[in-house]
Structure formats: structure tokens, C-alpha cells
Amino acid sequence: MDDWLIAIIKVVCIWVWVLLIAVVMTWVERRGAALIQDRPGPNRAGPWGLFQPLADGIKLFTKEEIIPTKAQKLLYIMGPLLFSVPAFSAYAVVPFGDKIILGGKEIILQVSDVNIGFLFILAIGSMAVYGVILGGWGSNNKYSILGGLRSTAQMVSYEVPLGLALLAIVFVYGTFSLRDISLAQQGTFLGFLPNWGIFKQPLGFILFIVAAYAEANRVPFDLPEAESEIVSGYHTEYGSMRLGLYLFGEYVNLVTISGVIVALYFGSWHMPYIDLGAYLGPISWGIVSFCIFFLKVSFFLWMFVWVRWTLPRFRYDQVMGLGWRGLIPLGLFNIFITALFIQLTV
Amino acid sequence: MDLKNRVEQCLGPKNFVVAMTECQGDLSVEVPKRSVVDVMRLLRNTPDLGFNFLSDLLGVDNLDLNKPKKKPKKKTEEGEGAETEEEPKDKGPSPPRYEVVYLLLCLERNERLQVKVRVEENDMEVDTLTPVWKAADWPEREVFDMFGIRFKGHPNLKRLLMWDDFPAHPLRKDYPLEGQGEERHLIYDD
Amino acid sequence: MNQNPTSQTSYEPGNYVTINIGPSHPSMHGTLRIAAVTDGETIVKADPEIGYLHRGVEKLGENLTYHQFIPITDRLNYCSAIPNNVSYEMAVEKLMGIEVPEKAQLIRVIMMELARIADHQVCIGILGVDLGAFTPFFYLIIQREEIYEIFEWFNGARLTNTFGRIGGVDADLPDDFEQRWEELKPGVRKANDETEKLLTHNRIWMDRTIGISAFSAEDALNWGFTGPCLRACGVKRDLRIDEPCCMYDKFKFEVPVGKNGDVFDRYIVRMIEMEESLKIIDQAYKLYKEMPPDAPLMARVPKVIKPPAGEVYSALESPNGELGFFVKSDGSANPYRIRIRPPCYMMFQALPELAEGEMVADLIACISSLNIIAGELDR
């Protein structure tokens, strides 16, 4: 097989896969909310309401597209695209398994193992801000603009602690490549812990997950779309599939973030203590590693749902305060400690 | 000493009491319109009265009470427009048409008092109570909205419940209950 | 908290943005409107506008008979219709000098306290929703459903109960009330407990509520606050104790009092009041069981109610505060004038003072903690 053919197959597969998870996530979110809130949740479309996302998709696709008269049309149309395209492309550098050997050819389960790894994710993630702010501005609605501004300030602020947490990871592993980091998490650490990033970077993990929630605009940081304050924030004026793209982009972001968390801090496709790769054949190990990775991702996806239906929402100034006064000093401290350790031990 | 005597003692010397009535234990005292703010200050600050809480403020239109008793009216197309033209059997000057009732409360002794002010139709202005109690703000606006009684010195005397260019004052007794009466019959100029 | 941002820095007047919050906005309870002048997210001036739900209830009252007006009072505070009904009935009874039989009074107390629990549950649930905590709302609303089941089974209506008649109540409590009540009680306690676990000591919740729209006792009295919001400011005033009606003086219960008058205190006061209401119902039901089964439920009331000419004001402690009815009679079968004193009307007018200098998100928290119900606000 040609390399480019493999690449195309991987791109298509992972794209479909991520889309599928995002679709299922909309269902998980509702059923999860219902589970937590002691109510049935959507249960009419299909078994356990599983076709609910399909019904929603049909609804969103067939709805009339309305552009507000006074909206800035170009920006208004570009907003959702600028938001969702980076969301879809960010997963390209996140692995989804170890490797699989087909026909004597080794295929790594990752669209592309670039050596700038999560720098790419950070860069692409920052692009999403444009979608939000342009959508908020182009809608010509005060609520939208407030939502857009909140989102911009929040995403820009929280990229700093996110970057700081990732920097400490680079100190530990000496590489930007998510695949190399994943491979380095095999075995045990200090003799009894799995050799996972979280045990080497506990503070870094907390920083990362808080900042990641803020980046994904999830509760308790969902100020850009706080429905009780600013109606729906930046997508107040959107309808039909444009709204769908925004909502969908968010779920894709969740998948990416969970993937990154698992790859960096939770030992990627490795089981703790057991190296399954040594016992299984190349093909079955490829499939098993994919399953392990996916299970871990599912846990973090569920955590997004869990947290969303548990916590109240921050206020805007409190979010900023937490970011600049809490997370950034902690991130710097974390880098200092990490650097000190490395200096002393290596 | 019961409340009636205490109120009498407090307001009497300054000739503030026009009339005093009691209904099922609710004491109400009528005071002259021009001195209503003084009365309220007095009621609030006198130690053995201490009415320190304005519970509510409302308007009453006495049009039907002042009218001579007559057969129950039958509904016609003209509505109330025709009714008011019935021959007035004048026996002396009729009492003023509107009244503003202040419901006061003393938190220490849990006593309530109604203070009443009569408002003539040709002088529909009462001094505002907002400097004494901020709570008088919206109720005064509502009385203005519903009866057209103006409150002198009110910081923001706009309509409260009806929209700004609504032409009538709906709680007046001559406001017809059905139809768009306000547009046909009643256009007040104030 | 109530600092004026303009006094610290001078801004160009054109830099303010006026945000029109409402009348159709997810967190405007019913249809309120607030024209908020904001500087960034800080509110410089909040100007409440009401009247979007005005139905002319007072005018309607002047043209209906005394009994016909009872269903209209359901539509005031539609979250807890029963105290509205009872308050109006009490005003007419006072006007006519009717003494209501004790058994009827006990049934009124039981139903009113159930309504109080339901009202507080809605208020706290909505406060949670407005602050982004969605889940407690469902825990509470499920229990409110149970209370509404009792209402439905007693009155035939869930929301608009039209409870009682002038001079008493129309029906006795059904036989299996005790069973239903014993089933309801642990559920309410559990829901409250879970809500408390999710919210009270939650750091985000505390950050969002403590010190927000705090009001001093003096200001609160000046603005005419009553009910839980006044008690949150530290004034121990509860009409159930201060001007007892319906045999409230026979029950032992605590009146919770706050300190700062902020959103958190209002929330806590309501939480404790629910527990106290449960105790009151227990005591009232105990007294009720001691009554002979054939004790009268209605006083002797003429078929057509024509109270003597006169005017009275009667108030009771509704879940929101002092709910008063001023009824003036001219001796005919229709009330001459009915004036309703809704509790949240007095509190909502203080909004400019409560919200000034706060942020937009706090304005929403403030409104929901005052429990503004557009139905009784606009009448």
C-alpha cells in the first residue's frame, strides 16, 4: 500500500470516528444529565433515545437559515466555520492507539506524528477564538458581543496556564510529540506507580484540566454562553446548521481535549502494570490499544458531563481572577519545581 | 392607652385630624392633604406611635359612592358615558372624588394605621412621600398611573403598569370595562 | 459592594452600553424588563420596567362578586396560589366579622405551609439555575410535584388551586392525608439535603452569592421589604408570629434570621424555613386529628356576600413576604375597591439600589433571590 493511501484512510477513519463520538456525546450529555437529575431524559427516538442525535441532526439541517438583517453577513457566515474547522483538525496529532502491522507494513495509529505535537494543538485551539468573536460581532447583538468578548478574554487567558502545564510536560519527556510521550509512559514509576504523566506532574495535571475546561467553555467556565445571563452568548442569533456547527465543534473539542489528557497524563494506550503488547499479536494489540485508549477517553468525556451537571457557574471576574491570580502563578511554580527536579536528578 | 387616643394626642394639637373612623379594628385617620408629609413624619418619629414602615399606598375613586343611589345600570353601547349625566340630587357639596390611603405599620407593637387624604378633582396633586419612605416610589407611580393623581416632588413620576402614552387612567370608576372605551370617551389632559 | 463605578474613574458617557434584559429573556421570571446601563460587565444603572403581565386584577375585582374573585387571586403568585386565596378570604372575613372554625383554620395552615415549601423549592431551584447549577432544580421540582399531587388530589387543581371559601374551607382533608404526608416528608427533607450538599458549601456557590446585593436592615425597612428577604437582612419579623392568624400562635417554630441580607442569606433563610414549615404541618395535623370529625368547616355565611360598608386591610405571611389585601365595600355584592399588596412589588422597586455596581451575572442572581413573580408584581 502506498503511504498516501494509508494517510487518507487514516484521515477519513479518524474523522468519522471523532464525528461519531461527538454525535454520541450529545446523547450521553442528555442521558447523563437525566441520570444525575433523577429523570428519564430523551427516550422516545429509538432504544434509550439513541436516535435522538439523528433527529436533532435532521432538525438542524432542515431548518430555515436566517441571517439577521443587520448582521455583518460575511463575518456571520464565517463564524461557525472558523470555529468548527480548527476543532476538526486538532485531532490530527492526537494518537488513538499504538500501531498495527498490516501486510508487513507498520502503521501508527495517529493521523500524523509531527514533532511539534501539541504546539499544533495549542495553535489550532487558539484559532477557535476567531470563530467565537467573529460570530459574536457579526451577529450584531449585544448579548452575542458580550459572549464573544467573554469567550475571547477567557480563552486567551487560559491558554497561558495550559501552555505552562504543557511546558512542564516537555521538561519531563523532552519532546513535543504526543506519540513519543505516550511511548515513554510504559512501565512503572518509583517501582509501584504506573509510569503515567499524572504521577510525574500532579499539579500540572490539575492545571491542565482546569484550563482545558475553560478552553472548552464548559461548566463551570461556560460564561460565553451563560444562558441565564446573556441568553446564549455568541450563538444567540444563530440557527439551523450554523448553530449546529458551533455546538458540534464544542463536542469535537471535548474529544480532542480528552485525547490529549489521556495521551499526556494517563498513559495513553498502556494498561497499568501489564504490558499487553508483549502478549498479543501485532494486529490484536493494535485493536486492543485502540480500545484502551478509547475507554480512557470515554471516562474523561463522561467527566465533562458529570462536572457540568454538578457545579454552578463562575462569574466573569472570578474566572479571570482564577486564571491570572491562581493558575498562572501555580503554573510557573510547577515549572520551577519540575526544572529543579530534573536538574538535580539527571 | 389605645391607638386611637395616642393618634389623637399626637395629631390633634396641630389640627391634623379631619376625621377618624374605625372598621373591624382597623383605625383610619383622615388628614388634610397639604400636611400629609408632616403628618407622616410625626407619626414616624413620635416615640409612642413609631409607625416606621410603609406597608402600602393606594388610591380610591369614590365616584360611585358619591353618586346618589340608583337602579343597577343596564349596559348600553355608550357605557358609562351616559350614566354620569343623570340628574345630580345635590344635598350640599359632595365629598372629594379621590382619596389616597397610606397603610402604616409599627414594627415594635405590630399596630396598623390607615392614613387617608382626600383629593379634589380640580386639584389632583399630593406631596410625595418618597423622602420619608423610599417604599412609596412605585405605589405612587401606580396611583398616578391608575387614577391620575400627581405626586409633587416624586423623582420619577412615570406610568408604572400601563405604557407611557396610554390615554386613560383605568382604575377610575368611569373607565368602561369593555371595549376600547379609553379611546372613544375618555381622553384626560394632564 | 454597592460602589458606584463612576465615582472612581471618569468615563465618557458614550462608553456605556445599554443592555435590554427582558421582557423575553431566559432568566426574567415571567415577563420583566430591566434596562441596564453597563460599563463592560458592571452595572451602572438598572432600571426595572414592569407591567408586561398586567391583567387589571384590581379592576376585575371591582366588577366581580366577592366569591368570584377567589379564582383571580390564584393568578397572582402562581407558584403558591393558596396563601393568596387565604389572604383574600381573610380580608373579606375580617370585613364581615366572621370567625372561621378552628378546623378550617388548621386545614388552611396545612395547605399554606405546603404551598410555602413548594414556593421556596421553586425559588431556590431557579436561583440555582440562574447561577448555572441545574441539578438541584430537578431534585426540588420533583418534590414540588409531589406537593402538587396533594393539591391536585385535594383541590382538583395543581397550580390554580382556588382553595377555600369565604368563611372556611369547602372540603375536609381526605382520609389518607396522613399516609401521603408521611410519604412526602422524607422526600422533601432528602431533596433539601441534597440541594444543601450540592450548593451550600460549594466554593463557587459561596463566591457567587455571599456579599452579592447585600442590603442593610435599615434600607430594607425603608424600601418596604418583607418576608425571607427582610429576615435575611437581620430583622426578625414574621407575620405568623407578629400578627398571628389561623392559629399560628399555637405552633412552635423558629424564624430564621440572616445577617448581611445578601443572596446567600436569602437562600439559607428559605432553606431553614422549609424545614420549619414541615414542623408546623406536623403540629397542625396533630391538632387537626384531635378535632371531632364532624366539627364545622364553614362559618355561617350568607349565600350572597354583602359586607357592611367599610374598608379593612388584612395581611398574612405569604412565602414571599407580607401579602395584604385592602378591601373596601360599599355594602353591595361587589367589592368597591380591592388593592393587593404583593410582597415582591416592594422589593423589586429597590432593584436599582440592589444592583448598582454589581455585574450582570449578579443582577440575575439578585432577581431570582428576591423571588420576583411577575404575576403578583403586575397583577
Q: C161-198: per-residue pLDDT in tens?
A: 888 888 888 888 888 888 888 888 898 999 898 898 88
| Per-residue pLDDT tens digits for A152-190 | 888 888 888 988 888 888 888 888 888 888 888 877 777
**pLDDT band at residue A142 under the 50/70/90 scheme:** confident
If asked whether residues C97 and C226 sit together in one domain, one would say yes
User: Which set of grid coordinates corresponds to residue C19?
Assistant: 443592555
pLDDT in the model for residue C76: 86
Mark whether C245 and C325 lie in a shared domain. Answer: yes
Q: Greater confidence, C361 or B87?
A: C361
Q: Are residues C158 and C29 in the same domain?
A: no
Domain assignment present for residue B157? The answer is no
Structural domain containing residue B11 = 3-152
Q: Please report which confidence band the pLDDT of residue A342 belongs to, taking 50, 70 and 90 as the band edges.
A: confident
Where residue C243 sits, what CATH number does that domain have?
Answer: 1.10.645.10
Sequence-distant (≥ 6) Cβ neighbours of residue A326 within 8 angstroms: none
> Which of B26-40, B174-188, C84-98, C290-304 is the least confident region?
B174-188
- B56–C contact, CB cutoff 8 A: yes
From chain B, the residues in CB contact with C237 under 8 A are 107
- Residue A220, preceding bond cis, omega within 30 degrees? yes
Q: Which percentage of chain A shows pLDDT scores above 70?
A: 99
Single-letter amino acid code for the residue at C370: L
- Is the minimum CB–CB distance between C133 and chain A shorter than 8 Å? yes
What whole-number distance in Å separates Cα of residue A231 and Cα of residue A143?
7
Cell numbers representing residue A207 in the block: 492545571
Strand pairing class (B26-31; B53-61): unpaired
Q: Do chains A and B touch (3 or more CB pairs under 8 A)?
A: no
Quick one: pLDDT at residue C12? 57
Whether C75 and C192 share a structural domain: yes
Residue B159 lies in a domain: no
Task: Answer yes or no: do B103 and C94 touch at CB < 8 A.
Answer: no
Asked if pLDDT for residue B76 goes beyond 50, the answer is no
**Is residue B180, in this structure, part of any structural domain at all?**
no
Residue B105 pairs in a beta bridge with B53, B112
Residues of A in contact with C138 (CB under 8 A): 37-39
| Least confident stretch, A154-158, A197-201, A275-279, B72-76 | B72-76
- Residues C108, C26, single domain; the answer is no
Write out pLDDT tens, residues C100-145.
Answer: 888 888 888 888 899 999 999 998 988 888 888 888 899 999 889 8
For C18-29, how does the pLDDT look when each residue is reduced to its tens digit (9 = 90+)?
Answer: 888 878 887 777
| C41 contacts in chain A (CB < 8 Å) | 146, 316-317
Which residue type is seen at C190?
Answer: K
Residue B179 pLDDT: 64
B186 or A74, which is more confident: A74
Rounded to two decimals, the pTM is 0.85
The pLDDT value recorded for residue A75 is 87
Provide the CA C282 distance to its chain's centre, in angstroms: 21
Give me A230's grid cell: 446573556
Cβ within 8 Å, pair C26-A220:
no
Subunit partners of chain A (3 or more CB pairs within 8 A): C
Q: Closest to B161 (Cβ–Cβ): which among C62, C63, C378?
A: C378
Mean pLDDT of the A312-320 span: 87
As a whole number of angstroms, the distance between CA B111 and CA B25 comes to 10
Left, alpha or beta for B175 (phi > 0: left; psi -120 to 50: alpha)?
Answer: beta
Chain-chain contact of C134 with A143 (C-beta, under 8 angstroms): no
Q: Could you tell me if A335 and A171 are in contact, meaning their C-beta atoms sit under 8 angstroms apart?
A: yes
Number of domains observed in the structure of chain C: 2
C360/A230 CB distance under 8 A: yes
Does residue C169 sit in the same domain as residue C280? yes
Chains near B (3 or more Cβ pairs under 8 Å): C
Confidence of residue A147 (pLDDT cuts 50, 70, 90): confident
CA of C296 to nearest chain B CA: how many angstroms apart? Answer: 24
Number of alpha helices (DSSP H) and beta strands (DSSP E) in chain C: 16, 6
Measure C20 CA to nearest chain B CA, in Å.
Answer: 17
Cβ contact (<8 Å) for C312 and B26? Answer: yes
Q: Kindly state whether residues C13 and C90 are assigned to the same domain.
A: no
C311 or C2: which leads in pLDDT: C311
Q: How far is C225 from chain B (nearest CA, A)?
A: 8
The whole domain housing C72 covers 57-378
Q: Which residue has the higher pLDDT, B90 or A148?
A: A148
pLDDT of residue B75: 45
Do C154 and C210 fall into the same domain?
A: yes
A273 Rama class: left (phi>0) / alpha (psi -120 to 50) / beta: left
Residues of A in contact with C361 (CB under 8 A): 223, 226, 229, 313, 315-316
pLDDT band, residue B82 (cuts 50/70/90):
very low
Same domain, C115 and C39: no
Q: Which residues, 6 or more positions from A303, have their beta carbon under 8 angstroms from its beta carbon?
A: none
pLDDT of B1 reads: 67
CATH for B47: 3.30.460.80
pLDDT higher than 80, residue B93: no
B71/A208 Cα distance (integer angstroms): 83
The nearest CA of chain B is from the CA of C309 a distance in Å of 9
Q: What percent of chain C has pLDDT over 70?
A: 96
Domain match, C39 and C81 both: no
Chain B residue numbers with beta carbons less than 8 Å from the beta carbon of C224 are 53-55, 133-135
Q: What is the mean pLDDT of residues A212-240?
A: 82
What is the number of residues in chain A? 346
pLDDT more than 90, % of chain C = 3
Cell numbers standing for residue C320: 414571599
Q: How many structural domains does chain B have?
A: 1
Q: State the average pLDDT for chain A.
A: 84
The pLDDT score that the predictor gives to residue C334 is: 86
Residues of B in Cβ contact (< 8 Å) with C57 = none
Are residues A121 and A94 in contact, defined by beta-carbon separation less than 8 angstroms?
yes
Burial class of residue A255 in the structure, from the number of CB atoms within 10 Å of its CB (0-12 exposed, 13-18 middle, 19+ buried): buried
**Judgement on whether residues C309 and C370 belong to the same structural domain of the protein:** yes
Chain C hits for B58, Cβ within 8 Å: 326, 337, 339
Which of A223, A306, A336 is CA-nearest to residue A32? A306
How far is the alpha carbon of A44 from chain C, nearest alpha carbon, in Å?
Answer: 20
Is the Cβ pair C349, B177 closer than 8 Å?
A: no
- CB contact A148 to C (< 8 Å): no
Query: Does residue B158 form part of some domain?
Result: no
Could you tell me if B17 lies within 8 Å of chain C, comparing CB atoms?
A: no
Do C43 and C154 belong together in one domain? no
Q: Inspect the interface and report whether the beta carbons of C359 and A222 lie closer than 8 Å.
A: no
At B84 the pLDDT is: 45
Q: A325 and chain C: CB distance < 8 Å anywhere?
A: no
Sequence-separated (6 or more) residues with CB below 8 Å from residue A141? A68, A236, A237
